[in-house]
Chain A
Amino acid sequence: MTVIETTETRPRIVVKRRWQQQLLTFLMVVGPGLIVMEADNDAGAVSTYVQAGAQYGNHLVWLLLLLLPITYFVQEMVARLGIATGKGHAAMIYGRFGRWWGRFSLFDLLFVNFLTLITEFAAISLALSHLGISPYIAVPVAALGLIVLVVTGSYLRWERTVIALCFVDVLWFVLAARTHASYGDVTRNTLLPHFPPGPITSDLVFLIIAIVGTTIAPWQLFFQQSCVAEKRLRFADLTWARLDTFIGAIFTILVAGAMMLVGSYGKTHGISFEDPAQMADALVPFAGEFMRKGILLLMVNAAVLGTTAISLASSWAYGEVMGWPHSLHKKISEAPGFYAAYIFFVVSAAAIVLIPHMPLQLVIVSVQVLAGLILPSAIIFLQLLLNDHELLGDQWVNRKWNNWVNWIIIALLFALSLTLALQVLAPNLVHFGR
């Protein structure tokens, strides 16, 4: 393999085998899909999946398998739109649906994202306080680290660091293996969709909506498209971007499943807890210090991944709508508004978490539900954009089967949203055996 400089000043790597060329191209393209998927296993996701395992054992693992194709189909559309237009999602909504919808979508995104950021810092505070570090040290240091990660003026440096953090999540598999779950049970509960034994309660429905909300979140649409545009992926990279997204989807679903198994381990030992950090402490007599420290550090990792991706999704979207320079390739002096937005989101969310007596577990579940509610409408815009022949021509628009699959996804998500709405409005009318 040789790196050569040509007269065109484009550094090329020359290889002798076609498979080497394909592998290298994939390795150069990989990133946005993997990051968007794994960053979705953020602090709220850890809490939701662990809670699902703790309450219902392995009985909801099948839901993750069901969400795998859904999350892939949605994100594939985003990657395709990003490659075809070279622009972010907020910019496309603003450009094709006008200023009102552009700002409305931006407000929705920023609102949910900001609430989510609070939950990320809450998790950092919670996990590190269980490791003996004061929140008044842990949270500001984490915020500072997250700012430094982004302001270096290099997209690739940020991307490589974040990919490394994504791979730290492999540790969830180690923790899941230490629970000694029955592989037969897990396989059966994965392949056969069913409700857990007992009545279908409001809490169960709420939890299912929260799982959907955390597995496919609105910020992911904005993040991946901006990330693809930032990385300047080419038309020829689409196949590899799809593979990147698919691998990311499989990885994130496997990690989510591992989280449920860890939560289920708590149920097996009759442990009751309000958050994963409490569970980590309570598991020590059964699984040892490694399990405790592993869960707590993975909570921090999940929160860091979530924070950097979500803050960037907000900052990119804000920069796109405001027409500001918005790129990690630029220095702070070249894109002051973009970096100021990122720093503002990170610092203010961190500051709110330091306010005493915040009902954080409630905020975490509510954010997942809110994201689940907003998601179908976000996908409708995506669907309309992917059918925009005037913009994309015939080559990049959705095929007929794409549209069918996506309308089914949208219908399912709306059904879940309406179920939640009915539950809130008329809990006695919609009887779930509460």
Chain B
Amino acid sequence: MSTFIAHCDPEVFSVVHPLDDRPEEKCSDENLGPMKMSQSVRISLFVLRAYLVAMIGLVLYRVLEVAAFAHH
């Protein structure tokens, strides 16, 4: 990493701000497409989706219930 290379004098250290440094080659997903998942993972994610929808509904129900109680 260029940030940590001492130039000329081995007793000298240099620091470069991340925003001023050269761009690095990152792990890219551009040519990978969607992640390969087993059937069980796929089903689990579907269950998770249903769970999330149900939970959001429950919280809204609770909020409306408490709001109605407070109103009366």
- Which residue of A86, A362, A374, A417 is within 8 Å of B63 (Cβ)? A362
Stretch at the interface among A48-56, A160-168, A348-356, A391-399: A391-399
Contact (A391, B32) CB under 8 Å given A14-B12, A108-B52, A380-B48: yes
Task: Kindly state the interface size class of chain A when it binds its partner.
Answer: 35 or more
Min CB gap B14→A, angstroms: 4
- Which residue of A25, A108, A232 is within 8 Å of B15 (Cβ)? A25
Min CB gap A331→B, angstroms: 16
Residues in A neighbouring B3, C-beta threshold 8 A: 25, 234, 236
Contact (A86, B32) CB under 8 Å given A13-B15, A21-B4, A366-B59: no
Residues in A neighbouring B70, C-beta threshold 8 A: 359, 362
Interface SS majority for chain A: helix
How many angstroms from the CA of A393 to the CA of B27 in the assembled complex? 8
How many angstroms from the CA of A421 to the CA of B54 in the assembled complex? 9
Residues in B neighbouring A237, C-beta threshold 8 A: 18
Residues in B neighbouring A85, C-beta threshold 8 A: 26-29
Interface residues on chain B, number (Cβ under 8 Å): 44
Please determine whether B15 and A28 come into contact, CB atoms closer than 8 angstroms: yes
Please determine whether A232 and B19 come into contact, CB atoms closer than 8 angstroms: yes
Please determine whether A421 and B34 come into contact, CB atoms closer than 8 angstroms: no
The A395-409 residues at the B interface (CB cut-off 8 A) are 396
In the complex, whether A233 has a CB less than 8 A from a CB of chain B is yes
Residues in A neighbouring B55, C-beta threshold 8 A: 373-374, 417, 421
Please determine whether B56 and A232 come into contact, CB atoms closer than 8 angstroms: no
Residue of A234, A236, A237 most packed against chain B (CB within 10 A) = A234
How many angstroms from the CA of A13 to the CA of B20 in the assembled complex? 11
Residue of B12, B22, B26 most packed against chain A (CB within 10 A) = B26
Please determine whether A391 and B29 come into contact, CB atoms closer than 8 angstroms: yes
Please determine whether A28 and B18 come into contact, CB atoms closer than 8 angstroms: yes
Residues in B neighbouring A86, C-beta threshold 8 A: 24, 26
The B12-68 residues at the A interface (CB cut-off 8 A) are 12-24, 26-30, 32, 34-36, 41, 45, 48-49, 51-52, 54-56, 58-59, 61-63, 66-67
Residues in A neighbouring B12, C-beta threshold 8 A: 14-16
**Which residues of A approach B to under 8 Å, CB–CB?**
8, 10-18, 20-21, 24-25, 28-29, 84-87, 92, 95-98, 101, 104, 108, 111, 155-156, 231-237, 329, 359, 362-363, 366, 369-370, 373-374, 377, 380, 384, 388, 390-393, 396, 417, 420-421, 424-425
User: 18 extra interchain contacts, Cβ-Cβ under 8 A, other than A10-B21, A384-B41?
Assistant: A10-B20, A12-B14, A14-B14, A14-B15, A21-B14, A86-B26, A95-B29, A108-B56, A231-B19, A234-B24, A235-B24, A370-B59, A374-B52, A388-B35, A391-B27, A392-B27, A420-B58, A424-B59
